[in-house]
Amino acid sequence: MFDQVRKRYLTGIAWFIASLVICETNDAITKFLGKGLSPLHVIFGRFFFSTLTLFPFMLGRAENFRSRYWGANCLRGLILFVGMFIWCYGLDASQLSIACLINFTTPMFTLILAAFILKEKIGRPRIIATIIGFLGVAVVLNPRTASFPIAAAALFLISAVFFAALDVLNKILVTRENTLTSLFYTGFFTMLFSAAAVVIVHCKGREGAPLIFWEFISGLLSVELAHILLLILLGIGANLLMFCILKSFSHVDISATAPFRYIELILASAFEYLFFGEKISINAVWGAIIIVPSVIYLARYEAKARLRHRQKEPISSLRCC
């Protein structure tokens, strides 16, 4: 029995670490593509190939294409597009480690938004953990060196707010729609919004819809083969990332993965040093020392709160259908 529990735990953690590796690989690819493509083209390519690679799996069941929440899926696509757009702009001018570190604040913003939107009670431990986390962000955003990309770091903070809003929306819909359907349409609408944004940029000071459309298509066709291959990897990586996370959470509780999340910061620092010749700043180190423990504490507290809530529920509500 103990061996089975241990095997299940190790399997879940292995899937989670795999998701961290994929996540940072995607960020490194995005940063590299940002040197040759605009953020709009990167986002469009990512979600175009993400949607395209999911399509064969959607064909297995006709129900996968049916959704009762078109408006919610469209809103998710819009929020994800805006968040990714801001993220890509910041990533182009900053370091992977700083982006990773500030992204750790997303659960804290999620907590705040959930209190206002879902009317959830925050409680003193959550408030303290959130305040400490934001103090860590203040350390990162208040550098002593003039070369620190504070504008880019601020963009990461804004994108974290959008990702938190996405988490709240996902929390509302997580039990109401098929995961595959949700993934497909979120990526599909994100692709549409990014395509529309590219067309709008082309429309500036020009006339004639057919000409603009042709310029958009020809612009995509003129992308270098190496960039197209990286965009395909980015799209596949986006789907693999969610697959690994879902596999991980099917084996272990979310709180069990919290102590391993700091590995993402190590991976980001290693990737930025190996591929971009950048070193992590001292401000980011001090920020990590403050932020990471608060995020781990918050994740563990949330898990205990969920467990207490389940224990208080009537037995009838715990039965399977």
Q: What is the pLDDT of residues 145-199, one digit of tens each?
A: 545 566 777 888 899 899 888 877 877 776 677 778 888 888 899 999 998 887 7
Dihedral sign computed on CA atoms, order 117, 122, 128, 129: negative
Q: How far apart are CA 67 and CA 73, in angstroms?
A: 9
Name the DSSP class of 74. Answer: H
pLDDT bucket at 49, cuts 50 / 70 / 90: very high
The stretch 268-275 carries a mean pLDDT of: 81
Q: How far apart are CA 299 and CA 310, in angstroms?
A: 17
Global pTM value? 0.74
Q: Which residue has the tokens 């994800």?
A: 80
- CA 266 to chain CA centroid, Å, is 18
Q: Given a cut of 90, is residue 234 above it in pLDDT?
A: yes
Q: How far apart are CA 173 and CA 77, in angstroms?
A: 14
The first and second tokens of residue 113, run together, are: 């938004």
Residue 245 or 190, more confident = 190
pLDDT bucket at 201, cuts 50 / 70 / 90: confident
Q: Given a cut of 90, is residue 36 above it in pLDDT?
A: no
Contact 135, 141 (CB under 8 A): no
